[in-house]
With several copies, the nearest count.
Chain A
Amino acid sequence: MKDFDKLSEIAVRGLARFSSRRGVLASLGGLLGGGAFFPALPVARAQEGSGSGYPGVAPQSTGNPEDPGDPASCDYWRYCAIDGFLCSCCGGSQSACPPGTEMSPITWIGTCTNPADGKRYIISYNDCCGKPACGRCLCNRNEGERPMTRPQSNNDINWCLGTSTAAYTCSTAVIIGVALEQ
């Protein structure tokens, strides 16, 4: 067992933002051949502001101080309940699909708090469809996510519905409104 540990748990810079608060997709080391990851490693990096948290993915900015954070990072505020590859890393943006894909008109909807203004925005998680899975910036967060029995609040569905093909490419997080104060 000790030997096994030594062999298996040599750290590797990870695939995704492996926060301990992240969901099943976030736990995908996805390392072909058995590499292991330490959840703490990439998280620490992102918190130090040293990059997007995804090695080999350059940080981005919206250019708008009212929309803070890095859209190429799983930490970005709008991604509070996203599950999939970030379109920002795939030729799209946080609110646009990559060229050649089709944005699903049928989506699930959540709310996330913008740290710049403290408001809860209504976010539509539109999937982009029709190209091979992007493979970059796998991110899964589940704030307020609900089971399959309530699909409009569930992120484990391939939401490429109503598109010409249901092949999943990546996910966006589009602002469609601001929630009322409660």
Chain B
Amino acid sequence: APGVENPQRAHLNWMLHCQGCHRPDATGTPPGTPAMAGDVALFLQVEGGREYLTRVPGVANAALPDDQLAELLNWTLSTFDGAHLPADFTPYSAEELSAGRKRPFVSEATQIRAALREKFPVDVKTGNAQEGSGE
């Protein structure tokens, strides 16, 4: 997968840092912990979405170095929503994560998410329109 140097490591980091709350298959517990499976890559298709994914608290606060965090985010996008991954997807870099996680969202994450999701393509937006802030 693009930007995933070590898929095994990425999966283990998913287990250790994400799946407890997001569940092993990234279906989450909406609305507080929204599902990522099947739509998380759509954030890459809307303006601001790419940055949002570097600043959302679950990503920003993860106890991982920047490079492993970038790998984990890339792995998450291709593993749980590969179908929506843009053909020209540029994998996240350590530097990009380092910049984003320095400015984590807090409660505004919910509103920002909702605004971004408004811009999602209509067919998927209506199919999975849960709002939440956890991530």
Residues of B within 8 A of A162 (CB): 23, 29
Determine the main DSSP class of A at the interface with B: mixed
Contact of A109 among B6, B11, B19 (CB under 8 A): B19
- A52 interfacial by beta-carbon distance below 8 Å: no
B106: interface (CB < 8 Å)? no
Q: Look across to chain A and name the residue whose beta carbon is closest to the beta carbon of B18.
A: A152
Q: Are A151 and B21 also in contact (CB < 8 A) when A162-B29, A180-B8 are?
A: yes
Q: Tell whether, in the assembled complex, residue A152 and residue B20 are in contact, meaning their CB atoms are under 8 Å apart.
A: yes
- Report if A111 contacts B (CB, 8 A): yes
Any B CB within 8 A of the CB of A179 = yes
Chain B 8-19 near chain A by CB (<8 Å), digits 1 or 0: 110110011111
* One of B6, B12, B20, B63 near A179 (C-beta < 8 A): B12
Shortest Cβ gap from B22 to chain A (Å):
9
A residues lining the B interface (CB < 8 Å): 105-109, 111, 122, 124, 150-153, 161-162, 176-177, 179-180
The A-contacting residues of B in range 22-44, CB under 8 angstroms, are 23-24, 29
Q: Using CB atoms, name the residue of chain B closest to A108.
A: B20
Q: Shortest beta-carbon distance, A177 to chain B, in Å?
A: 5
Does the CB pair A177–B21 fall under 8 Å?
Answer: no
Question: Which residues does chain B contribute within 8 Å of A179, judged by CB atoms?
Answer: 12, 16
Q: Would you list 5 pairs from A and B whose C-beta atoms are within 8 A, ordered by A residue?
A: A105-B23, A109-B19, A124-B20, A151-B21, A161-B29
Nearest Cβ distance between residue A87 and chain B, in whole angstroms? Answer: 18
Q: Are A107 and B15 in contact (CB under 8 A)?
A: no
